[in-house]
């Protein structure tokens, strides 16, 4: 789902596949897969009509007609099987110029009953708890991508800001109206591979057994620096936000301390990863921390030196998971 997306079909297919896998099924006919696939697209068309960078799409036009009540459920399914899966089944495992090493399904469209067969890699990821996080993470990235398509013009690229009260990213349109886009935790989770930024232990966003497993939004450079006037830049921005487990983020962890210098390089690498992902967070980070990799690294180093002095010279370092 990373890289330059030109249509939202991969997101819809991911949602459909996760839903099927969470039911324990390892085989699904194309006509059955068409139901959750088209339902996901219809839902997002109601949120944001622009679901592709192409000027037109006969398939999406069919789904729009369904949303208007002009065609039946069966017509929607038939159109999905005929048009919707034409390219996305082949393209799903392609990122950039090549295939990813892990396969989540095998294409069996040429069999007597066209279908896809799910692999153990997908089934193992789709336990009840993990599937909830995966679905929300997928939907979060989808919301950011479709927002970029909707707002993007030749003269202006959209950026996203952070609402710390709601823990969400929002955009401002040309009429200065504010639009909530997505939950921050779900937006960042995929870029941290479901791990705490500091200790790299697994975190969960929805259902956790132990409190220390809960993923929480943390300001890498503590918010207290901004509140007390020690720094002039806005710390409520994507470049400074990470997900941490409750143990690292709580009173016995980092809290309002300055992170160890080793974590600073991790933040730089995380931000560069976000920039390479080609969605609104890319523009937000570039705008606030610098146009080039060198500029952004110098920006973070300057923030670090200021934070360390302002917070008494003490730093905090997490014990990494083995």
Q: Convert 243-263 to b/e letters by CB count within 10 Å (16 or more is b).
A: bbbbbbbeeebbeebbbbeeb
- Is 203 or 253 the better-scoring residue by pLDDT? 203
Q: What is the pTM of this model?
A: 0.76
- Rounded to an integer, what distance in angstroms lies between the CA atom of residue 50 and that of residue 36? 19
The answer to whether 305 and 297 have CB atoms below 8 angstroms apart is no
The answer to whether 41 and 12 have CB atoms below 8 angstroms apart is yes
pLDDT tens string 155-200: 344 677 888 888 888 877 666 778 778 888 888 887 788 899 999 9
- Rounded to an integer, what distance in angstroms lies between the CA atom of residue 283 and that of residue 275? 7
- Rounded to an integer, what distance in angstroms lies between the CA atom of residue 286 and that of residue 296? 8
- Rounded to an integer, what distance in angstroms lies between the CA atom of residue 14 and that of residue 137? 11
- The phi, psi pair for 193, rounded to 5°, reads 55, 35
The answer to whether 250 and 214 have CB atoms below 8 angstroms apart is no
Alpha carbon separation from 90 to 63, 97, 116, 156, 158 (Å, rounded): 21, 13, 11, 33, 30
For residues 115-124, average pLDDT: 94
Residue 253 pLDDT: 73
Collapsed DSSP state (helix, strand, coil) of residue 61: helix
Q: Where are the domains of the chain?
A: 9-101+116-125, 154-316
- Rounded to an integer, what distance in angstroms lies between the CA atom of residue 249 and that of residue 243? 9
Residue 156 pLDDT: 41
Residue 34 pLDDT: 98
The answer to whether 11 and 142 have CB atoms below 8 angstroms apart is yes
296 burial level (CB within 10 Å; 0-12, 13-18, 19+): buried
Residue 155 pLDDT: 32
The answer to whether 217 and 241 have CB atoms below 8 angstroms apart is yes
For residues 77-106, average pLDDT: 91
Per the prediction, the chain carries an average pLDDT of 88
- Rounded to an integer, what distance in angstroms lies between the CA atom of residue 16 and that of residue 155? 36
Q: Which of 4-18, 26-40, 68-82, 102-116 has the lowest mean pLDDT?
A: 4-18
**Residue 36: pLDDT above 90?**
yes
The answer to whether 199 and 318 have CB atoms below 8 angstroms apart is yes
- High-pLDDT (> 90) share of the chain, %: 53
Q: What is the CA radius of gyration of the chain?
A: 21
- Rounded to an integer, what distance in angstroms lies between the CA atom of residue 58 and that of residue 40? 17
**Residue 128: pLDDT above 90?**
no
Q: What angle do CA 196, 198, 201 make, to 5 degrees?
A: 40
Query: Who contacts 111 (Cβ-Cβ below 8 Å, separation ≥6)?
Result: none
Return the number of other C-beta atoms located less than 10 Å from residue 11's C-beta. Answer: 24
- Is 97 or 153 the better-scoring residue by pLDDT? 97
Q: Give the residue among 94, 108, 105, 129 at the shortest CA–CA distance from 20.
A: 105
């Amino acid at each position: 789902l990373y890289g330059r997306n030109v249509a939202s079909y991969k997101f819809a297919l991911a949602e459909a596949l996760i839903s099927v896998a969470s039911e324990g099924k390892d085989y699904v006919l194309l006509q059955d897969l068409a139901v959750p696939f088209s339902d996901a697209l219809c839902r997002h068309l109601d949120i944001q009509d622009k679901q592709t960078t192409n000027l037109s799409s006969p398939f999406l036009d069919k789904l729009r007609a369904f949303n208007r009540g002009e065609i039946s459920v069966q017509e929607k399914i038939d159109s999905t099987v005929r048009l919707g899966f034409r390219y996305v089944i082949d393209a799903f495992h392609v990122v950039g110029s090549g295939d990813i090493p892990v396969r989540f399904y095998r294409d069996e469209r040429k069999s007597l009953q066209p279908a896809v067969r799910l692999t153990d890699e997908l089934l193992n990821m789709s336990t009840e708890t993990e599937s909830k996080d995966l679905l929300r993470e997928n939907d979060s990235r989808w919301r950011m991508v479709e927002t970029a398509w909707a707002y993007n013009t030749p003269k202006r690229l959209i950026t996203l800001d952070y609402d710390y009260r709601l823990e969400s990213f929002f955009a401002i349109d040309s009429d200065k109206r504010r639009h909530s886009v997505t939950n921050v935790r779900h937006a960042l989770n995929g870029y941290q591979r479901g791990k705490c930024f500091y200790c790299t232990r697994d975190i969960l966003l929805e259902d956790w057994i132990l409190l220390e497993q809960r993923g929480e939004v943390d300001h890498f450079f503590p918010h207290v620096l901004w509140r007390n006037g020690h720094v002039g830049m806005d710390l409520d921005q994507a470049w400074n936000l990470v997900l941490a487990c409750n143990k690292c983020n709580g009173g016995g962890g980092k809290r309002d301390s300055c992170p160890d210098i080793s974590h600073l390089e991790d933040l730089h690498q995380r931000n560069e990863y976000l920039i390479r992902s080609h969605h609104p967070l890319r523009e937000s980070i570039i705008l606030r921390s610098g146009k080039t990799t060198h500029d952004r690294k110098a920006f973070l180093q300057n923030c670090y030196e200021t934070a360390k002095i302002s917070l008494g010279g003490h730093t905090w370092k997490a014990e990494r998971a083995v």
